[in-house]
Amino acid sequence: MWAGRIFHLPKARREQKVEQVELLTEKLKGAKVAVLTDYRGLKVNQIQDLRSKLRTGEVEYRVVKNTLARRAAEAAGFPQLQDEIKGPVAIAFGYDDLGVPSRLINEWVRATRLKLEVVGGLVEGRVFSPSQIKQLADLPSRETLIAQLMGTLQSPVAQLLGIMQTPLQQLMGTLNAYKTKLEAA
């Protein structure tokens, strides 16, 4: 593999970098979504605050070295992601809902009024532009979409039941009126 390319480093550091690339490769393969951000200008405590916000949605946020991230992208089978990895990059890995990482990043940016630029991402194996990643944030959550679908599917059934009950209710009303008339007579 590429491990031979880091020949100028001491063996311990080389092994450490190989492990980091392997870890990033596994994360890229396992994540449903990976949002790349340019964290330039953020302080360590602000990045920690962002990490804690992202953890609420089970999203992992890692600051990565570009060369290691590029190698991991290639090893994971996403060489087209290498073009997006420029400047100081951190990656938000989401393993469940596709919109959660970008939605939480947007919420954090609005709440703190700090600048955190989304530079691209990987969504289910496809490279997304910054605008596409931002559109993901606007999508409702999976649970909301399922609830909307269930409501849409349930509506015709409820209407059909209402239509079927109307003649029975009218018949019952007519019979009750006839009964009342007979009792009065």
Q: Is the pLDDT of residue 37 over 80?
A: yes
3-state secondary structure of 127: strand
Do β-strands 117-123 and 33-38 pair in parallel, antiparallel, or remain unpaired? Answer: antiparallel
Would you mind telling me the total number of residues written for the chain in this entry?
185
Number of other residues whose CB lies within 10 A of the CB of residue 105: 24
- Identify any residues that bridge with 94 across adjacent strands, giving them in sequence order: 33, 59
Each domain of the chain, given as residue ranges in start order, spans 2-139, 140-185
- To which H or E segment does residue 63 belong? strand 59-64
Q: Is the pLDDT of residue 16 over 80?
A: yes
By the 8 A CB rule, do 90 and 34 touch?
no
Distance CA 112, CA 109 (A): 5
CATH class of 2-139: alpha beta
pLDDT (tens digit per residue) in 110-157: 999 998 899 999 998 899 998 898 888 777 777 777 887 888 887 777
Which of 10 and 6 is assigned the larger pLDDT? 10
pLDDT (tens digit per residue) in 63-94: 999 999 999 999 999 988 888 888 889 999 99
What is the distance, to the nearest Å, from the Cα of residue 130 to the centroid of all Cα atoms in its chain? Answer: 14
